[in-house]
């Protein structure tokens, strides 16, 4: 049985056979559903809690 993964940035489910995986030198594994999520986390260094379209977005009230 193939398990479904969750995107490390936006929190969406990734279908088996799609998406990409990034492994850092310290052994941390990131799974991304799209190139948009990968760029936001790795290149632009954005925090998912502050990005409105991610599921991890927290409103400050």
- Contact between 38 and 46 (Cβ < 8 Å): no
Which pLDDT does position 61 carry in this prediction? 62
Radius of gyration of the chain (CA): 12
- Are 47 and 58 in contact by the 8 Å Cβ rule? The answer is no
Please give the Cα distance from 7 to 30 (Å, whole number): 8
Give the confidence band of 4 by pLDDT, cuts at 50, 70, 90: confident
Residue 2 has pLDDT above 90, yes or no: no
Per-residue pLDDT reduced to its tens digit, 10-59: 999 999 999 999 999 999 999 999 999 999 999 999 999 999 999 999 87
Spatial distance between the Cα atoms of 23 and 12, rounded to a whole number of angstroms: 19
Is the predicted pLDDT of residue 60 greater than 90, yes or no?
no
Instruction: Kindly report the pTM of this predicted structure.
Output: 0.86
């Amino acid at each position: 049985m193939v398990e479904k993964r969750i995107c490390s940035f936006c929190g969406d489910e990734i279908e088996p056979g799609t998406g990409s995986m990034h492994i850092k030198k310290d052994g941390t594994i990131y799974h991304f559903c799209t190139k948009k999520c990968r760029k936001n986390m790795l290149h632009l260094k954005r925090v998912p809690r502050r990005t409105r379209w991610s599921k991890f977005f927290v409103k400050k009230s």
